[in-house]
Each structure stands twice: as structure tokens, then as C-alpha cells.
Amino acid sequence: MTTADYERAPHVGPGTPSHAEKLERIWETAPGFYGWLATVDHKKIGIRYIVTAFAFLVAGGIEALVFRVQLAWSEMHLLTPEQYDQMFTMHGMTMIFLYAGPILSGFSNYLWPLLLGARDMALPRLNAVSYWIYLFAGIFLYASFAIGFGPNVGWFNYVPLAARAYNNGPNIDMYGLGMILLGISTTVGSINFIVTFLRLRCPGMSINRVPILIWGTLTASAANIFAIPAVSLAFLLLWMDRNVGTHFFDVGAGGSALLWQHLFWMFGHPWVYAIVLPAMGMVSDGLPVFCRRPLVGYTAVALATIATMVLGFGVWVHHMFATGLPGVSLGFFSAASIIIAVPSAVGVFAWLATIWTGRPVFTTPFLFFASFIVLFTIGGVSGFMTGSVPVDWQLTDTYFVVAHLHYVLIGINVFPVVGAIYFWFPKFTGRMMDERLGRWNFWTMFIGFNLGFFPMHISGLLGMPRRVYTYGEGMGWDWLNLVTTLGSFLFAAGVLLFFWNAIRSLKHGVTAGDNPWDAPTLEWATTSPPPPYNFAVIPKVATRHPLWEDRLDSGQGAEQSRIHAGMALAHGREALGTTPVDAMPNVILKMPGDTLVPMYLALSMTVIAVGLALVNWWVVVVGGACTTASILAWLWPQARLGETAEPARETADD
Amino acid sequence: MTEETTTALPVGAMDTRASGWWAMIFTVFTEAALFAYLLFSYYYLAAQPHLPGSFPEGGPPSLTLALPNTIILILSSVAVAWAQLGIERGSRGRLVLGLGIGALLGLIFLVVQGFEWADKPFPLSSTPYSSLYFVVTGFHMAHVVVGVLMLLALTWWSALGYFNSRRFAPIHIGALYWHFVDVVWLLVFFTFYLTPHLGLSS
Ligand code: HEM
């Protein structure tokens, strides 16, 4: 054994057709059902994430429409109070945890390697396991609702209402254990994003050249790995309080109910930013394409993204202003909640300046991205208002807060996401979505949303509390609620138009070509849809906008990006690892291929959760043993992956 | 298709260039956060009003078993570090031996912890303190179990000759986790065994 066995100077050259064919053989997923279960291709996983998250959006939307009918007029009795409680809890939980987070993971999974000029995520198997756990956790979370015992105390599940004494069914346990599973999925996904960022950027992509979406997802991921343990722990402690007799939250026995609130919101508020920052990133990257110029203030926006997240860890107490905490603490957290408006404003001004100084093209994605700025501003202002303690005392637990959170979540998540689908659909599928239907889609959603949710500000100011299953006749809230319900249905119709457009365009859309929008970043340098290996040769970039260099940095011997010639890396599944800051070539990584182990692992962990829900230790032990076996199989060092002393056999033909 | 070549690059999972190494660093971060929240819960509940003598229940805990056990755990980290240096110098014997000793000391730690648990005069469901004590040390023991399993697997793989002085990334990755589990114990130990002697009790 010599040093040479573990080193190789990669060939550099143009990507010829025969080279591409060879890569295709190496990278393609096996056909059939096996391939469907075993794939680790980030593009397939990304699409799965997106489709699954939309399915949950539909579920959560139907729940909302049902209770909007109930609230349309005073004294309605479509739902019993218990059913209403389950409905709004499932709605909040579904939207926040099963739709808003995962949909962004889906986009990032699909787009990251393409944006970074890489062949896959750094840890493809971890990517697969992250999806499977998400799917199983989602099914698990819906299982108790399906048998009539849905969680019923709101998505933040406050004790003592969530304690055994007041909630004796399987509902709270299923919610908690499902959340722990989902937390594992999000955590491993986040680790994967961070490692991919640090290791797989193509040569030349120093950290000041990555697209803003990368910054958004990276910051969210970093926040997740610190925030998620808080909520997973809180749910586990609650499970123990309920099932094995501990006293963490049991005030009667010396525990503390506020401990729950602290642990929940230490996670909860950073999470709220985690489900908006990547969406803002998509706007920061997509909007400039339709303004025909680079984003104004790239560095400011990237730094503002990080600043928002850092401050986001210091504001959790603003969800607890009305719990009787000491004044100093209120003052501090109120200040932090108000200061956080500053980095948000940086983003708004950057987007406005981009539109102002650009030459806007009014396509459907542009409409969605631009309307996001409006909705974000309205949601930001109402948030800023409740960030102030006296205002919050007046408005907390009213429909004002419901209006605020929907402007933020629908405005910063749903609108950018729909715009992003219009924008990247041609890359995902090779076809364009219909533009005329797109406009109908946009205006229905936009008008429906504002019609439905703006009046909630007023019903809130008039004192209508949230989470009530009905209200008295004389309260004077009837007309406002009727308008809200009508608006909600119009909004839902808009979302339906969107799905209709997407499904129809899959078959009948105009063929897109590689770069239909004439956009500047690397994903548009591949075919639509991209081949399994993404890039035949590893690109080398010299600027933030490799495909716009001819018009932006022309002349004066400016360094040019090189996309169609570069390292070939075709001795099996290979990717290039680079250094964390400057992205200099550092190592040739051996990448894993199709495998069922991630799915087995996810299943085994779900079995543990089922065992804990049933409080049946045998099931837990079986699940634990299967989990251990899957992990062992996963980590067993393989020569093919360059993990053992035996040098990987190199194929002879290059 | 050779037009030009670049300088040679290492191939595969080499030392700290392995993706798994980076993944373990961030796994350690998230685990560290988990323990931070556990200890936050301890201090938060400690600061609530309690009946005299109920926090810690039965007065400050004795160090008779816990202190020697802490030393055992530290020694196991030393053994693993010795194994790591060994394989970097190409000594497979030292690698197997060091990892094996590390795993064994980890097992001893678990057994002693078992005695410590059995010794406690209160059950899990007695007070918030008893809940905290068993849950936090239990969390840590679960991590030790995972760590010992990992060390055993690594010992086995080392004996099979999977690693040499260039290819040993899995050793460093596993060892990083093990060192973390030991450092966390010091924090748990400080919180549960030392702070009550320093006056944090009621
Ligand atoms: C058709 C669309 C939607 C309608 C009509 C709707 C309507 C509502 C209403 C009326 C409430 C208040 C229920 C109550 O307090 O009694 C509510 C709560 C909530 N909604 Fe929506 N919503 C929609 C979409 C969304 C989306 C897309 C998200 C997130 C991305 C979302 C997140 C939430 C959350 C987190 C709550 C709080 C649940 C709780 O109080 O525990 N909603 N929704």
C-alpha cells in the first residue's frame, strides 16, 4: 500500500457524450419499485418532499374551511366544541410542522446541489432517511385524529390542559411522539444542509458567491439543530409525566407549567423564522431574474438573514407576555422583538430597490414574489405592534393574532412557495406552467387572502377571541366573519387553480429548454429536468451569476466561470469536496448509491414511537433492536465508499 | 478525455475530510443543546419554591460512587485518545487495545451507575427532583450505551483490519462522540452532585 493508492489527480476536460453516458449508468436510480424505495437522488427526494407537503397543505386547508363554515355566522352548530378544538389544533400543527417546514426542505433538497454545482447532497442516505421519517411522522400524527382522538389543546399544547388529568386519551401522546420523530427528521436534514454547504460548493464558489436561498436554508438549519432539542425534550418529558409518573409540569407536586412554555417557545420562535427565511431566500433569488438585474444589496440581505435568526433566539418570551413574568424580562424581550424588525426591513428595502432599479417583467412568478413584499410588510407591522407589551396584553389570544400569523405564514411562506413552483417548475419537469391560468391563479389567491384575513384584524380589535367554536349573536362580529369565510373559500379556490395548472402543465405545458427565464445561476446550466448526476463535469465559478457574465462583467480580462469543462470524476459515484470558506478542491468523495437501509431505519424508529404510544415495552425493544441493526448496517465501513484500508478498485476505462 | 490534469487529491473518507466527520460535529452540537435544555430544566425547577429537604430529595447526594465513576469515564476517554494516536502512527494493536479498554471502562461506568440508581431512597415518581435525577442521568446513560456499542463495533472493525494510518475516519468520528459523552457527564456531575454541596438546595 502506498500513498498513491489513496490519491488521484482528476482528469479535467469537456463533458463529452460518452462521458455523460457513463455517468448516467453510474448515477441513475434502479428502475421499478425497488428504485422507488431505495433512491438517494436529492432531486427525487426533493420532489417527494414537495408533493407530500402539498398533500398536508390540502388536509390543513380542508380543516380550516370546515371551521370557517362553523364560524361564518353566530351560534352555528356544524361542529361540537370538542370537534372544533381538534380541528384547529390539527390545522395549526399540520400547517406549521407538516407543510411549512417540509415544503422548504423539499425546495432546498432539490435545488441546493444544483445551485452549488454539486452532484448530490453531502449525505445522500441521511437525506433519504429524513424524508421517510417525515412521511411516517406525518402519518403517525394523523393516526389519532383519524380514530377520533386528535390533539385538542392547540398546536403549542400547553400544560396543564395537556396533562393526563384533563386529557386522558391517546391524543396528546401521539402528538408528542410524532413531534419527536419529526424533530429527528428535521435535525438530520439540517445537519445535511450544513455539511453540504461547508463541503460541496463547486470550486470558486466562495461564501460570498452563494445564492441567498443557500443563506436562508443554512441559517434555518443552524437554528434548527439548536432549537429542536428543546421541543423534543419538552414532549418527551410530557410523555413521561403522563405515562410514568414524573412531575416536571405538575404544579401540584412542585413542577412548573411555565417550564413547558419556556421549552416550547425557545424552539417555537426560532422555528417560525426557520419556516420563512428559506422562502425569503427564494424570493431574493427569483425576483431579480424578473427585474433583469442582480439583487440590490446581496451582502446586506445575507447578513440580515443571519441577524434575524440570531435575534430570533432572543424573543421567545414575547409569546408569554401575559403569563405574569417579571417586568425586566418583559422589557428585554419586548425590545428584542421590536429590534428584529430592523433586519427584516433591510430585506424589504433590498427587494423594493431591485424592482425600482430593474426592468420588471410581469410574469406569474413576479406577481407572487412582489405581492409577498406587501403581505410581509402588513404581517411585519402587526407583529411589531404585538411585540410591544401593552399592545400585546390587549390583543393576545384575539383574532388580531390570527390575522398576524396568517399574514406572516401565508404571506412569507405560501405566496413565495407558489411563485417558486411557477419559477422552477420548468427545471423540475421540463415544461412551463400556463401563464394565463397563472394570472387567474394569482389574483384569486391574492384577493381571496386579503378579503379573508384582513377583516380578522378588525374582529380582533373588536375583542373576538381565537379558539372559540362559536360566538353570541349580539357581539356584532357576524358580518366580519361572513366576509372572512367567503374570502377563505376564494383563497382556497385560488390554491385549487394552482394545483390544476401544475397537473395540466405536466402533460400539456410548453417545452421549457434549459434556461427559459434567462436566469443567472447554475441550476439553469443543466438540462430540464437535470440528469441524475446534475453536472457532467464539476463547474468552476468566478462570480455570483455565472450565466450572466457575458453581459455584466464583460471585458477587462475579468475571470469567467467555466461550466462545460472541468473535473470529470467518473471512477464510480464521485463528488468533489472543497474547503469550507474558499471552496478550493480538497478531496474526492465516494458517494453512496441506492439502498433500503434509510427506509428500514425510519420504519424501526416509527415502531419505537408506536411502542411508546401504546406503553408496550416489547414493541419498543423490537423497534430499538431494528434501529440498532439498521444503523450498524449503514455505518459498516465499505471499501466502495473509501472507508477502509483497502483501496477502492478504479475502473480501467479512464 | 484527458486535456489537462490537476494536482492529486485524496480519495474517499480521509481523516477529517470525511463528510461523516463534519456530520458528527453538528450531531454533537445538537446533542449538546439537548443537554443544555435538560440542565436548564434542572436549574429552572431548582429555583421554584420547594419543601425543605426535597430539592435534592434526601439532601445533597453522596459522592462515594459518583466521583470514582467520573474518573473511570475520563480514563476511558484517555484510552480512546491513545488508540486514535496509535492508528495515526500505524499501530493496529494499539488501536484495538485502546478502543477495547475504552469500551470496557464505559461498561464499568454503566454498572456503577446501576448501583447508584439502586441506592437512591426515592422512586422516579416521588418529586420533581427525583424525576430530574433519573431522567437526566438516564439520558446520559443512554448516550453511554450508544457510545459503548459504537466503541465495540469500532474495536471489531479494527480487529478485522479495516483501518490503517491513512484510512481511519470512522475511528475519529466515533471517538469524537465518545469524548463528547464524557464531557457532558462532567456537566451533569457538576449540576447534580456538586451544586447542592455548594448551596443550591432547599
Ligand atoms: C384556507 C386557508 C386558511 C384558513 C381559512 C385559515 C383559517 C384559520 C383560522 C380561522 C384560525 C383560527 C382558529 C381559531 O383560533 O379558532 C387559524 C389558525 C391557525 N392557522 Fe390557519 N388558515 C388557513 C391557512 C393556514 C396556513 C397556510 C397556515 C400556515 C402556514 C396556517 C397556520 C395557522 C396556525 C398556526 C393557526 C393557530 C392554530 C392554533 O390556534 O393552535 N393557516 N387558521
**Closest chain A residue to B50, measured at CA:** A254
Per CB-CB distance under 8 Å, the chain B contacts of A19 are: 1
Q: What is the per-residue pLDDT for A279?
A: 96
Residue A654 has pLDDT above 50, yes or no: no
Rg (CA), chain B: 21
pLDDT at B1: 37
- Whether B19 sits inside 8 A of A16 (CB atoms) is no
Contact A237, B37 (CB under 8 A): no
Q: In this structure, are strands A574-578 and B4-5 parallel, antiparallel, or unpaired?
A: unpaired
Choose the mutation target among B16, B19, B27, B156 for the interface with A, i.e. most A CBs under 10 Å. B19
Residue minimizing CA distance to atom 37 of ligand 1: A92
Nearest-atom index, ligand 1, CA of A84: 16
Domain B24-194 has CATH 1.20.120.80: yes
Residue closest by Cα to atom 31 of ligand 1: A95
Residues A598, A631: Cα–Cα separation, whole Å: 9
- Residues with Cβ < 8 Å from B160, sequence gap 6 or more? none
pLDDT at B2: 41
- A21 interfacial to chain B (CB closer than 8 Å): no
HEC per residue, A290-319: HHCCCCCCHHHHHHHHHHHHHHHCCCHHHH
> Distance between CA A388 and CA B28 in Å, rounded?
37
Q: Angle B127-B108-A617 (CA atoms, 0-180°, nearest 5)? A: 50
SS3 for A590?
A: strand
What number of H helices and E strands is found in chain A? 22, 6
A237 interfacial to chain B (CB closer than 8 Å) = yes
CB distance A528 to ligand 1 below 6 Å: no
Task: To the nearest 10°, report the CA torsion of A293, A298, A304, A309.
Answer: 90
Mean pLDDT check: name the lowest of A424-428, A489-493, A548-552, B186-190. A548-552
CA atoms of B35 and B33, how far apart (whole Å)? 5
Which residue matches cell numbers 399574514? A407
Chains A and B: how many Cβ contacts under 8 Å?
192
> A558-591, pLDDT tens digit by residue?
678 898 889 999 888 999 999 999 999 999 999 9
A648 contacts chain B (CB < 8 A): yes
Distance from CA of A152 to the nearest CA of B (A): 26
What residues form DSSP beta bridges with A465? A398
Measured from the CA of A57, which atom of ligand 1 is nearest? 27
Angle between helices A212-243 and A171-199 (to 10 degrees): 150
Q: Is the model's pLDDT at A21 over the cut of 50?
A: yes
The answer, for A586 touching chain B at a CB cutoff of 8 Å, is yes
A497-502 long-range contacts, CB within 8 A, separation 24+: A497/A437, A497/A440, A497/A441, A497/A444, A497/A445, A498/A418, A498/A421, A498/A441, A498/A445, A499/A54, A500/A437, A501/A433, A501/A434, A501/A437, A501/A438, A501/A441, A502/A421, A502/A425, A502/A433
Q: What does the block give as the cell for A72?
A: 361564518
Q: From residue B117, give the alpha-carbon distance in Å to each of B59, B65, B130, B132, B137.
A: 16, 11, 11, 13, 9
Assess contact for A312 and A273: CB atoms under 8 A.
Answer: yes
Closest CA to B92 of A646, A637, A645: A645
> Whats the size of chain A, residue-wise?
654
Q: What are phi and psi of A588, to 5 degrees?
A: -95, 115
Contact B12 A643 (CB under 8 A): yes
Give the percent of chain A with pLDDT over 90: 77
A244 at interface of B, judged by CB pairs closer than 8 A: yes
CB A100 within 8 Å of CB A413: yes
Q: How confident is the model at residue A652 (pLDDT cuts 50, 70, 90)?
A: very low
ipTM given for this complex: 0.94
Give residues 197 to 216 of A whose Cβ lies within 8 Å of B.
198-199
Q: CA geometry: angle at A478 spanning A475 and A480, to 5°?
A: 110
- Residue indicated by cell numbers 458567491: A209
Give the atom of ligand 1 at the shortest distance from the alpha carbon of A93: 35
Cα separation, A283 vs A418, whole angstroms: 11
Tens-digit pLDDT profile for residues A79-102: 999 999 999 999 999 999 999 999
Residue spans of the domains in chain B: they are 24-194
- Work out the pLDDT band at A653, boundaries 50, 70, 90: very low
For β-strands A574-578 and A562-567, DSSP reports them as unpaired
| A6 in Cβ contact with B12 (< 8 Å) | yes
Q: Is A402 in the pocket of ligand 1 (CB under 6 A)?
A: yes
pTM of the model: 0.95
H-helix segments, A275-398: 277-291, 298-312, 327-339, 341-357, 364-386, 389-395
* Ligand 1 center to A487 CA (angstroms): 13
**What is the residue whose three cell numbers read 468520528?**
B173
Reading the block at residue B134, the C-alpha cell is 433519573
Q: CB of A488 closer than 6 A to ligand 1?
A: yes
Torsion angle defined by CA atoms of residues B47, B53, B54 and B59, in that order, rounded to the nearest 10 degrees: 100
Q: Which residue of B has its CA nearest to A251?
A: B128
Q: How far is CA A3 from the centre of its chain?
A: 43
Cell representation of residue A224: 434548527
Tracing cell 440570531 back to the chain, one arrives at A310
Comparing alpha-carbon positions, the chain A residue that sits nearest to B28 is A225
Which of A62, A99, A406, A477 for a ligand 1 pocket mutation test, highest count of atoms within 8 Å of Cβ? Answer: A406
Report the residue of chain A nearest B8, measured CA to CA: A9
Query: Between chains, do B11 and A195 touch, taking CB under 8 Å as contact?
Result: no
> Which of A95, A96, A412 should be mutated for ligand 1, with most atoms under 8 A from CB?
A95
Residue A615 CB-density burial (10 A; 0-12 exposed, 13-18 middle, 19+ buried):
middle
Residue closest by Cα to atom 34 of ligand 1: A92
CA–centroid distance, A318 to ligand 1, in Å, is 20
Does position A160 have pLDDT exceeding 60, yes or no? Answer: yes
- Give B165's strand partners: none
| Of the partner residues B2, B45, B166, the one whose CB lies closest to the CB of residue A256 | B45
Q: What is the pLDDT of residues A396-410, one digit of tens each?
A: 889 999 999 999 999
Least confident of A46-55, A174-183, A313-322, B103-112: A313-322
Closest CB to A122: pick one of B1, B19, B135. B19
Phi-psi region of A159 (alpha: psi -120 to 50; beta: other; left: phi over 0): beta
Q: Is A14 on the interface with B (CB under 8 A)?
A: yes
pLDDT at A69: 95
Q: Where residue B3 falls among pLDDT bands split at 50, 70, 90?
A: very low
Q: Closest chain A residue to B161 measured between Cα atoms?
A: A645
Cell digits of residue A651: 475502473
